[in-house]
Amino acid sequence: MSLTEQTILITGAAGGLGATAALALARQGATIILLDRNVPRLEDVYDRIVDSGAPEPAIYPFDLAGANEDQYNELAQVIGDKYGALQGLLHSAAELGTQGPTATQPTASWGHTLNVNLNAAFLLTRVLLPVLQKSVQASIVFTSDTSVSNARAYAGAYGVAKIALEGFARILAEELESAQRIRINTLLPGPVNSPMRNRIYPGEDKSQLPDMNSLDAVYVYLFGPESIGITGQTIDAQTFQR
C-alpha cells in the first residue's frame, strides 16, 4: 500500500514505537517529520529511514513539555510553509512518570507527565488542524495503553492522561466528522516488547512478547486509504484484522 505524497508528523519519533511507526510508514513512501527532544536518537532513526531507500525524512527537535504556545504555533507555521499540507499526525510520545499510590505522587512529576501525555497532544493537534484541513484526507492517531486505560491502580498521571486522551480523541472525532476530511482514532498497541513496556513490567518474560514491528500493518492501515471513513474508533493492534 503506497503512502507516496503523504507527509506524516510523528511525536516521540526517537522512542521505540515512534521509530517503529516512522520506519513502517516511510517504507510505504511517506515523508516523515521526526519530532522528539532526543536529537542523537532522531538522527539514528533518520539514518535508518534513508538507508532503507525511503523518502528522506525531516528532523524537528522539540520539547513537548517545555515548549510554550508560541513555539507550538511556530512549528505549525514551519510545517505549513514547507509542506503546504499535512496528511497525518501520530501522537506517540509518552512519559511514564511516577508509578505508585496517589497519596505519594510528587506534584512536579504529576504535572510533567500530564503535560507530555495529554496537554502536548491537545496543543499540537490544535495548532496543526489548519494544516491537516488543507489535505483532501488526513488521519490523526492517538496512542493509548491497554494496561492503564481501564484505570489500573497505581498508574498515576500516566494512567489518568491515557484515559483522558481516549476521551479527547472521541470528542475531536465527533467535532470533525461532518466535514469528512480528518479521521481521528486511538491505537492500543497492546503487549509488545517495547521500552515503555519494559519499564512498566520490568520482571516480565519479554521473549513471549511480539516484536514492535508486529505493529507495522496497523500503522499503515491507520494512515492509508483503507481507513478512510473510520473515525472515533479505538483500534486494538492485538486483534486488528483488515
Active site residues: 158
C-alpha cell at 196: 515503555
Residues 10, 15, 18, 21: is their CA dihedral positive or negative? positive
Residue 171: strand, helix, or coil: helix
- Asked whether 93 and 120 are in contact (CB, 8 A), the reply is yes
Q: How far apart are CA 155 and CA 149, in angstroms?
A: 9
Q: How far apart are CA 69 and CA 77, in angstroms?
A: 12
Q: Exposed, middle or buried: residue 103 (CB in 10 Å: 0-12, 13-18, 19+)? A: exposed
- Asked whether 76 and 131 are in contact (CB, 8 A), the reply is yes
Q: Edge-to-edge strands of the sheet including 138-143?
A: 58-61, 31-36, 7-11, 88-91, 138-143, 182-188, 233-236
Q: How far apart are CA 163 and CA 114, in angstroms?
A: 11
- Asked whether 60 and 118 are in contact (CB, 8 A), the reply is no
